[in-house]
């Protein structure tokens, strides 16, 4: 049974198409018009071993906010869709990733309930190319809201903005992969005592 999700989201501000295959091999085809964001989504697919297609055309003449946010919303929706009934998955995942001087710790529960806890160094360069670094939390909030997962992301230390953001996406990718992967000991079992996820 294939675990794929597809979300098409069209508004007056953006037009977004996201496709994800959780059991892919990290094949990524991403274009949002925001170079650094493309680089981050590339990390997500590559290190999550998801096949990921993202095509966003947004109102970049205003700024990159809507483009980045709406892509994250669609991505969250596609991820949830791909998870399906969640039977036989690990459900929890965590990963710690260093990137030179920066460290990201990510823990996820594919719980069905949206909750984000996020900390990162407050002193950081405000922009990476066209990417506003305050958008990282907004991306995570948007993704969590649509994917309906509990996500804790911490960067206890880091200095370079590019590193601080990139290690978060790498650790997120791995944590999502571990949580969504099929547990060979739990085939046919829903990982919840409540009987619902």
CB of 135 to Mn ion, least distance (A): 9
CB of 11 to Mn ion, least distance (A): 12
Which one of 13-21, 25-33, 64-72, 81-89 is the stretch in contact with Mn ion (CB under 5 A)?
64-72
Contact assessment for residue 109 and residue 100, using Cβ atoms and an 8 Å cutoff: no
CB of 151 to Mn ion, least distance (A): 18
Pick from 70, 45, 43, 46: nearest CA to 56: 70
Check binding of 69 to Mn ion (CB under 5 A): yes
Which one of 9-17, 25-33, 61-69, 80-88 is the stretch in contact with Mn ion (CB under 5 A)?
61-69
Which one of 62-70, 91-99, 104-112, 153-161 is the stretch in contact with Mn ion (CB under 5 A)?
62-70
| Residue with nearest beta carbon to Mn ion | 69
Check binding of 109 to Mn ion (CB under 5 A): no
Which one of 29-37, 69-77, 129-137, 177-185 is the stretch in contact with Mn ion (CB under 5 A)?
69-77
The rounded distance, in Å, linking the Cα atoms of 8 and 18 is 7
Check binding of 141 to Mn ion (CB under 5 A): no
Write out the residues near Mn ion by the rule CB under 5 A: 69
């Amino acid at each position: 049974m294939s675990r794929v999700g597809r979300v098409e989201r069209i508004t007056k501000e953006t037009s977004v198409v996201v496709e994800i295959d959780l059991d892919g091999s990290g094949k990524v085809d991403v274009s949002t018009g925001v170079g650094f964001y493309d680089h981050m989504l590339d990390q997500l697919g590559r290190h999550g071993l998801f096949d990921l297609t993202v095509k966003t055309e947004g109102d970049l003449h205003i700024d990159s906010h809507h483009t980045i946010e709406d892509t994250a919303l669609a991505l969250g929706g596609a991820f949830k869709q791909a998870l399906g009934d969640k039977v036989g998955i690990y459900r929890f995942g965590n990963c710690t990733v260093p990137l030179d001087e920066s460290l990201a710790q990510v823990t996820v529960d594919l719980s069905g309930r949206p909750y984000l806890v996020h900390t990162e160094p407050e002193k950081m360069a405000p922009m990476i190319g066209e990417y506003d670094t305050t958008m990282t939390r907004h991306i995570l909030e948007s993704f969590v809201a649509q994917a309906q997962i509990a996500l804790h992301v911490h960067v206890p230390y880091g200095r370079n903005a590019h590193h601080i953001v990139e290690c978060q996406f790498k650790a997120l990718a791995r944590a999502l992969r571990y949580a969504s992967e099929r547990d060979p000991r739990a085939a046919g079992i829903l990982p919840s005592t409540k009987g619902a996820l």
